[in-house]
């Protein structure tokens, strides 16, 4: 299973050229196996980034997310209590961003590889990362 960090999801759907060739190959294989997931916190994070003007999408954020939800090779993982409790145990030294800690906790709980460019998350080695 492959979990996309928020930026990896946005880039893969909107600007795949921003991803490494290796990552694109892995995602292509994962898409054919329908083993790619996104945490629901990423939908919240995308909406917040759009609201703050830090991310511009080609369409309304709600429609953009709905279109992502309809992609047959992508599944959204709800945030449950196990994920939230695990996120609390992830040190703020790794990331001060609660959304990042929830995404890492999701990867840990699912035993998923995490696609991320985030140096701090990669350096922490809590989960296997792809980039």
- Boundaries of domain holding 103: 2-130
For 30-77, the pLDDT digits (tens) are: 999 999 999 999 999 999 999 999 999 999 999 999 999 999 999 999
Is residue 128 within 8 Å of residue 114, measured between CB atoms?
A: yes
DSSP secondary structure, the chain, as one string: -EEE-HHHHHHHHH-GGGS-HHHHHHHHHHHHHT-EEEEHHHHHHHHHHHHTTS---SS-HHHHHHHHHT-TTEEEEP--HHHHHHHHTS-TTT-S-HHHHHHHHHHHHHT-EEE---HHHHHHTSS-EE-
Total tally of structural domains belonging to the chain: 1
- pTM for the full predicted model: 0.95
Where residue 13 sits, what CATH number does that domain have?
3.40.50.1010
Q: What confidence tier does 28 reach under pLDDT thresholds 50, 70, 90? A: very high
């Amino acid at each position: 299973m492959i979990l996309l960090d928020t930026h990896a999801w946005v880039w893969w759907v909107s600007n795949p050229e921003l991803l490494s060739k290796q990552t694109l190959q892995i995602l292509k294989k994962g898409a054919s196996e329908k083993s790619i997931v996104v945490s629901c916190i990423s939908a919240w994070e995308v909406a917040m980034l759009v609201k703050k003007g830090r991310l511009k999408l080609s369409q309304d954020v709600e429609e953009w997310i709905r279109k992502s939800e309809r992609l047959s090779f992508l599944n959204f993982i709800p945030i449950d209590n196990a994920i939230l409790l695990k996120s609390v145990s992830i040190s703020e030294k790794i990331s001060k961003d609660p959304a990042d800690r929830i995404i890492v906790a999701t990867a840990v709980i699912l035993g998923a590889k995490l696609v991320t460019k985030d140096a701090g998350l990669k350096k922490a080695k809590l989960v296997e990362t792809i980039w």
